[in-house]
Amino acid sequence: MRKMTSKRYWIPILICLAIVAGTAYFYLFASLAKDGKTYYIYIDADDNIDSINARLDTMTTSSGMAAFSMLARHNGYERNIIPGRYAVKPGMGALRLLRNLKNGAQTPLHLTIPSVRTTDKLAAVLGSKLQIDSLELMKELSDPATCARYGLDTLTIACLFIPNTYDVYWTISARELLDRMQKESRAFWKGDRQSKAKAMGMTEVQVMTLASIVDEETANDAEKPMVAQMYLNRLREDMPLQADPTVKFALKQFDLKRIYNVHLSVNSPFNTYRNKGLPPGPIRIPSVSGIDAVLNHAHHDYLYMCAKEDFSGTHNFAKTYEEHLLNAKRYSEALNKRGIK
């Protein structure tokens, strides 16, 4: 009789415990994210619990949001908000998300350094992807003292950036980013690339400066070693590079379709029609393919090149000025035929 009475009490208790456990699991551990997608919440120093909840509400299920709000309220999260970029992944429950937020366990983002022409454009692009203010980053890039810290100056600071993709935290500071870029640059050059540059009698900055011109001259990776060698031949012969892209950079008129004599007179150290040798710095952040094209340059005796008249993006090369004039005439006629001015 006592056993039957005992069972009568224990069965409801066990059922209640199971219901409580199931409810707790559902609210605390069940997946928060809507639609089985991964979302990212960006929290900065100005955020409070209300703004965070409002943002999370667009990413989470109603039950998950209720659980998170309850946990955050009872754990005093509003007093310990740490800025960052945090993932809300499928399968992640409210308890785990709250732990990540309280511990500052950010999710890194994949930051690709763009091959842009100017440092202000670089600052704008990076500022749009990171918490860094673009004006703050531009101030660092244009500060001689900051540039000197990395062995560069305001005209060569772009050489600090190798256009690869890196995992970084969204909250990285401008100084931390520059330190990271220096570390990545050293790793990039260490070994074969450094040895090849020394064998050519060129510094890393000189290689990147020439690579930036090569990149501007052609988007065809297969042709880049040919273009690199042509400019190396000119440097060896003490001839001016006469690279049209350097004139565009000097003028800051990157959309010019044709370069006329009036453009060639611009007074700038970047104008390689007026100044022999390499310009004082790169005219864009060179691509890895451009850098490697200089280091693995072709071997030929060409001193001149002109865009092909078929507008294929490649070039006709010439050893003599007379041959070059014929190539230039064909290209000029093709431009005129298309009405390109």
pTM here is 0.86
Q: 18 pLDDT band (50/70/90 cuts)?
A: very low
Grouping H, G, I as helix, E, B as strand and the rest as coil, residue 304 is: strand
Mean pLDDT for all residues in the chain: 90
Grouping H, G, I as helix, E, B as strand and the rest as coil, residue 109 is: strand
Q: What percent of the chain has pLDDT over 70?
A: 91
Residue 29's pLDDT is what?
Answer: 54
pLDDT of 2 > 70? The answer is: no
Q: 120 pLDDT band (50/70/90 cuts)?
A: very high
Taking the alpha carbons at both ends of the chain, their separation in whole angstroms is: 106
pLDDT higher at 191 or 35: 191
Residue 283's pLDDT is what?
Answer: 97
Helices (H), ranges, the chain: 2-28, 49-57, 62-74, 94-103, 119-129, 134-141, 144-149, 174-189, 192-199, 204-217, 224-236, 244-251, 288-295, 321-338
Full DSSP string of 210-265: HHHHHHHH-S-TTTHHHHHHHHHHHHHTT-----HHHHHHHHT-TT-S---TTGGG
d(CA 180, CA 175): 9
pLDDT higher at 36 or 42: 42
Residue 7's pLDDT is what?
Answer: 52
Q: 66 pLDDT band (50/70/90 cuts)?
A: confident
Residue 19's pLDDT is what?
Answer: 43
Long-range CB contacts (< 8 A, 24+ apart) of 231-239?
A: 232/200, 232/294, 232/297, 233/300, 233/301, 233/302, 233/303, 234/303, 235/277, 235/278, 237/303, 238/276, 239/276, 239/303
Write the pLDDT tens digit of every residue in 286-305: 999 999 999 999 999 999 99
